[in-house]
Amino acid sequence: MNVPFLIAQRYFRSKKKRNIISIISNISMIGVAVGTMALIIVLSVFNGLEDLVRSLYGKSDPDLKIAAVQGKSFESNAFLVNRMKAVPGVELVTEVIEDNALLRYHERQMVVKLKGVSENYYAQSDIDSAIVDGDHRLHRDGQDYALIGAGVQHELSIALENRFSPLQLMYPRNVAGKRTLSINPESAFNQEPILAGGVFYIEQHLDDSYIFVPIGFAQRLLNYGNRRTALEVKVAANRPIEEVKAELKQVLGPQFSVLDSDEQHVSLLKAIKVEKMFVFITFAFILLIASLNIFFSLSMLVIDKRKDVAVLMAMGATPNVIRRIFLMEGAIVAQVGAITGLVLGVSICWLQQQFGLVSMGMATSVVEAYPVKMQAADVLWVGIAIVVITILVSVRPALNAPQIDLRENL
């Protein structure tokens, strides 16, 4: 029989409604419940945002991306590509040339991110599902076409398939491996025309700056020859990406980096995780402040129950038993509040997932409602935070409980 728990439970249930100690305890439970609920909701929102970022970039990102460790490009040949294709789980290898270029249309111009891709690009990318206007094909009827972001189209007011005014893409001309500067643009820049064939709408970063073109067009404009900035790999559905990634690292050697989807956007995802950590710490401190009422209610309970403590000690209860009574009393108050807050937080997140109660409030937002995703790890960390906070606010009153004068209180 756990005597301290039974006594603590009796103290918790037998408080009078008008007792100031009961009022403070109820305030403590409400504070813990609200703090726990807020923690669960905020952490779930950050999880949802993280998944949203992954889903947005997943339309254009490969399963694995091969890049040079040093420099922005490397020599690519059939031997290298065949070695990669020989790795079990490698279903497709797409060659990519990506660099900045100057886009001019009529009298307007802007710097864009030019991405040249080989013909098998659509076999591993879902960008064709993000086309909002025009055709997704980069080469048709013997002519090259460009896919432009919705932001690029809006910025330059580009008309699709305008054969009288094609897009003009310019890139600094290289002489002996060095870029040249000249007053005459014709001698300083390579220039290639291309028709805009389609418009994609994925994510603001891509929509506002990216243009997709055939890799042959990028080779001519950028004068890359056999050099590539990346090789994008599609992994077979029956093979784990991590296993294929490890095997590719062994085959390619230390001069190449093999990046999975998260590593391709490590800065953005890391920023979200850091924000989530600081928000967790901030709300944990708020929860600690709300839990200070437990300290005051326990301190007053110790004073109120000093005669009970004296009787128990006279009957042979040790100071350790007395301390455990009040520690458990604080734990009960915190647990009731935490469980209530947990139920409320999980319920609100579930309702948001199912019905989208809270909208983003913007007509141009990618999703209509705030994305949320509940994770067991978040519940675990919230539980650990509540346990630590409960111990911090309950220890001092519990230590003071046995320090009474038996003769005075019997």
Cβ neighbour number for residue 294 with a 10 Å cutoff: 28
CA-based torsion, 326, 332, 335, 341: positive or negative: negative
Q: What is the pLDDT of residue 76?
A: 92
Q: What's the pLDDT at 1? A: 56
The per-residue pLDDT for 17 is: 45
Give me the percent of the chain exceeding a pLDDT of 90.
52
Alpha carbon distance 171, 182 (integer Å): 13
Strand bridging mode 143-149 / 230-235: unpaired
The predicted pLDDT at position 126 comes to 83
333 strand-pairing partners? none
Tokens 């997704």 locate to 136
For tokens 């307007």, the residue is 108
At 15 the pLDDT is: 55
Q: How would you write 231-278 as a 3-class SS string?
A: EEEEECCCCCHHHHHHHHHHHHCCCEEEEEHHHHCHHHHHHHHHHHHH
CB 332 within 8 A of CB 21: no
Instruction: Give me the pLDDT at residue 20, please.
Output: 78
Within 120-182, residue ranges assigned H as helices are 150-156
- CA 385 to chain CA mean position, Å: 22
DSSP conformation class of 183: S
Sites in the chain below the pLDDT cut of 70: 1, 15-18, 58-59, 174-187, 362-366, 404-410
**pLDDT score, position 80:** 92
